[in-house]
């Protein structure tokens, strides 16, 4: 992701419905693990998700390939290092959790990223991954933010399992808004990341929050989440 896009993300992520609800998903997943320890947030940008890790009791480090992102995360009081996800500067088996939200789709050698996640995890450690789903949704937005691909469930599972991780579950997110996203993406000419009117933001937040209580996670959405662990 380019520096300008990262700065735009940081300016919006505290209020934008997409990022707020993703952080809520992360928080619920962390609480569901019932543990804490050392965590790594890959592709952290300004550290919005890293802050959630810290708030939930994890000893967390943010990493990003962009020097600006790392500096901005540090300005927010987070521990951050510049690193390539294909060659993480951490010892084998040294981490209890790795998060990689919107990372794999940016890297041609996504298998190397998955292998690095498996390498740095301790036995019994977890990986939480999020990627954009379904090449049918490919649009100018994907080009603008530097995506290489979008994923189907099987493709994502294969990449993770071949790295040596055991997939616990895969689920869809942003299912209810998918028709709206499809329509919007067909007409888009660039990144979707922009500030929106407060009422629109609130309305979209309410719709996507409803998915917490509805049996829609097996349907097609806009994002795929995956939880995996390294066998003991």
H/E segment holding residue 145:
none
Q: What is the number of structural domains in the chain?
A: 1
Q: Which residue has the tokens 């616990």?
A: 168
* pLDDT value, residue 11: 75
Q: Which residue has the tokens 């802050």?
A: 51
* pLDDT value, residue 182: 85
* pLDDT value, residue 89: 96
* pLDDT value, residue 124: 97
Query: Which structural domain, as residue segments, surrounds residue 217?
Result: 3-229
Low-confidence ranges of the chain (pLDDT < 50): none
Rounded to two decimals, what is the model's pTM?
Answer: 0.92
142, 148 Cβ separation under 8 angstroms: no
* pLDDT value, residue 191: 65
CATH number of the domain within which 45 lies: 3.40.50.150
* pLDDT value, residue 190: 59
- Dihedral, CA atoms, 30, 160, 209, 20, nearest 10 degrees? 70
């Amino acid at each position: 992701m380019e520096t300008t896009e990262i700065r735009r993300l940081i300016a919006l992520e505290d209020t934008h419905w997409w990022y707020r609800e993703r952080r809520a998903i992360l928080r619920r997943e962390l609480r569901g693990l019932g543990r804490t320890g050392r965590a790594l947030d890959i592709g952290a940008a300004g550290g919005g998700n890293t802050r959630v890790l810290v708030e939930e009791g994890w000893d967390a480090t943010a990493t990003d390939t962009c020097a600006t992102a790392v500096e901005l995360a540090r300005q927010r009081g987070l521990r951050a290092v510049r690193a390539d996800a294909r060659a993480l500067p951490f010892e084998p088996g040294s981490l209890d959790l790795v998060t990689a939200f919107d990372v794999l789709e940016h890297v041609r050698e996504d298998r190397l990223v998955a292998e690095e996640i498996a390498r740095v995890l301790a036995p019994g450690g977890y990986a939480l991954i999020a990627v954009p789903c379904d090449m049918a949704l490919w649009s100018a937005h994907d080009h603008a933010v530097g995506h290489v691909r979008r994923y189907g469930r099987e493709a994502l599972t294969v990449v993770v399992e071949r790295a040596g991780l055991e997939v616990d579950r895969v689920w869809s997110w942003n299912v209810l808004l998918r028709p709206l996203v499809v329509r919007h993406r067909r007409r888009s000419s660039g990144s979707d990341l922009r500030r929106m009117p407060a009422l629109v933001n609130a309305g979209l937040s309410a719709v996507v929050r409803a998915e917490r209580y509805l049996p829609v996670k097996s349907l097609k959405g806009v994002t795929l989440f995956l939880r995996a662990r390294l066998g003991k």
